[in-house]
Amino acid sequence: MYSNKPILFKEERRIKADILCQWLEISSIIAWVVLFVIIIMWQYASPRTETLLDRFFNVGRSETWNFSLLNTVFHLLVFLLAFSAVSIILNLKRLKRRTDRIRLSFIISTIGSVNGIIIYVFMVL
């Protein structure tokens, strides 16, 4: 039967993202920035290859790894691993709605930092 009662809609209380969603957005950006810094520092720490212009102009180049930069890269890799692991745990706790998803940037940064730590350990030994 038909009722004259008005339809009562629940008020939408989710106006803005909660603190955890904001953390996940910001930490995703931080993880990519740290990964980019690690790649740049790794490039500067590596020995330079000799090019034609280096040979032609007799330019001196480093032939060994810069271990002070590599130590900094190692510390950044450990930080990135811990940061990504905490972010993955928080992301898994946040999977409540249908629109929530696991962020691939944390998984990629975790895998990349583990690979970098393994490469560093084998290079130093």
Tell me the whole-structure pTM to 2 decimals.
Answer: 0.79
60 assigned to some structural domain: yes
Q: Which residues contact 98 (CB under 8 A, 6 or more apart)?
A: none
**Total Cβ atoms within 10 A of residue 33:** 10
98 assigned to some structural domain: yes
**What local confidence, expressed as pLDDT, does residue 113 receive?**
96
**What local confidence, expressed as pLDDT, does residue 2 receive?**
67
10 assigned to some structural domain: no
56 assigned to some structural domain: yes
**What local confidence, expressed as pLDDT, does residue 83 receive?**
97
Domain count, the chain: 1
100 assigned to some structural domain: yes
9 assigned to some structural domain: no
3 assigned to some structural domain: no
* Integer Cα distance of 45 and 66 in angstroms: 5
Q: pLDDT of 38-95, one tens digit each?
A: 999 999 998 888 888 888 888 888 888 899 999 999 999 999 999 999 999 999 988 8
* Integer Cα distance of 56 and 63 in angstroms: 18
* Integer Cα distance of 107 and 76 in angstroms: 16
